[in-house]
Structure 1
């Protein structure tokens, strides 16, 4: 890296940082501004500039360590990759224009400095993009695993009676998770009756119904009775209009009705106790 560039950045770090923060604040979208406080934005921006300076010093290992930490932080803060790329471009622009203003860049050395800037910024930009992408993919993967673990829980509510509340859209991948959780849970909890509650499922189309029917059939094959609860009027109308056959599945309009029916199946019932006289 050209010593002129490194010396200028080192000696004018605070001015570069101040100009960088001001310009990047103007380019940040409203959501980013609301989420990140001024103090956090300034601190993260300073880390960003320090990371670049570390790269300038050709300290590869320290740079990679800083880059990893920085990528994890900005992914958590919600900085989009385009925003990070713009930050790199703006850093070069501010630095180069500052060197021009101070007369460091002149007609004789201009092409050499431009070449040095490009030789430095292009590989670093690639390294930043690569690390950001890896961090983002890792974060999304961990979130996906956590969501899958929570998306279809089988909950034992009473002896031999379990409930699976479903919320949100059901796609093929999630249906597979539902099936696995159902079968494992039925065996684990020794369930005789499984209630699938679809109160929180916004749309039941042919595909969703097909997945539910498959799940109910699988539960029946392992020796338990499957009941579908939460059939709202609009869902019932959709099922009828689509010609979906749920004749083999017991249906109830609410989870409460389903639990009452499950108690009957397991030879139990709810009894109101008379108040004891004092």
Structure 2
């Protein structure tokens, strides 16, 4: 890097930071500014400038570490790649304008300084894009795995009784996850009755119903009964209109009634036990 550029950046680091933060705040999407505090924005801006200077001084492990840490942080904060790229562009403009104001740039050295900044910033911009993209893809991949684990949980509530609460839409991939979790969980928990609660499923169409029927049949084959709970009136009407046959599946309109039915199937029931005139408890027998 040109020595005059290097000296200017080192000697005016605080000025550059303040100017950069002011410009980035004005150009940032309003939603971006709202989701982070002023303190976090200031801290992250400091880290960005530190990272830029680390690259300016030498391409070493320190810069690689700072870049990796910064990429992970901005991805976590939800800063778009455009904002990060724009940040580097604004940084070079601030440096050029500042050097012009201090009369460091003149007609004789102007081209040399601009070329020096460009030769330095372009490779760095490419590296930022690569690391940001890699970090984003890894983050999305980890989130996808986490969502898959939570998309079809099987919860043992009582001995022999387990519940699978479903929320949101059910596609082919999620249906496969439901099937796997059901079969694995039924065997693991030695379930006699499995309740699939679709209260939180907004739409039940032919495909969804087909997947549920398949899951119920699979549960039956491993020796347990399957019960479908949370059938709202509009879903019941849709099932009838589609001509879907649920005759082989026990259905209940709420999870509460499903649990009561599951207790009956397992030869148990909930009774009220009076301890005194003021307090009473419930127990399962």
TM-score, normalization by structure 1: 0.95
CA distance in 1, matches of 2:135, 2:167: 29
1:132 paired to 2:108: no
Moved more, 30-39 or 83-92: 30-39
The aligned residue for residue 102 of structure 1 is: 102
* Cα distance per residue 1:122-148 (max 9 Å; x no partner): 110111111111111122222222222
Counterparts of residues 77-96 of structure 1 (less than 5 Å): 77-96=77-96
Structure 1 position 225, deviation (Å): 0.8
The aligned residue for residue 254 of structure 1 is: 254
Structure 1 position 118, deviation (Å): 1.5
CA distance in 1, matches of 2:215, 2:269: 27
Secondary structure at the counterpart of residue 178 of structure 1 = helix
CA distance in 1, matches of 2:266, 2:42: 63
CA distance in 1, matches of 2:235, 2:109: 73
Structure 1 position 277, deviation (Å): 7.4
Count of matched residue pairs: 278
CA distance in 2, matches of 1:248, 1:47: 61
Moved more, 242-251 or 78-87: 242-251
- Coordinate RMSD, CA, aligned: 1.6
Counterparts of residues 1-278 of structure 1 (less than 5 Å): 1-273=1-273
CA distance in 2, matches of 1:271, 1:70: 59
CA distance in 2, matches of 1:11, 1:182: 64
CA distance in 1, matches of 2:161, 2:210: 24
CA distance in 2, matches of 1:218, 1:6: 69
Secondary structure at the counterpart of residue 228 of structure 1 = strand
CA distance in 2, matches of 1:136, 1:22: 27
Moved more, 12-21 or 204-213: 204-213
Moved more, 220-229 or 168-177: 168-177
Change (3 A) 1:108 1:226: same
Q: Which runs of 5+ in 1 are unaligned?
A: none
Q: Which runs of 5+ in 2 are unaligned?
A: 279-285
Structure 1 position 271, deviation (Å): 3.6
TM-score, normalization by structure 2: 0.93
Secondary structure at the counterpart of residue 104 of structure 1 = coil
Secondary structure at the counterpart of residue 79 of structure 1 = coil
CA distance in 1, matches of 2:38, 2:85: 20
CA distance in 1, matches of 2:277, 2:73: 64
Structure 1 position 216, deviation (Å): 0.9
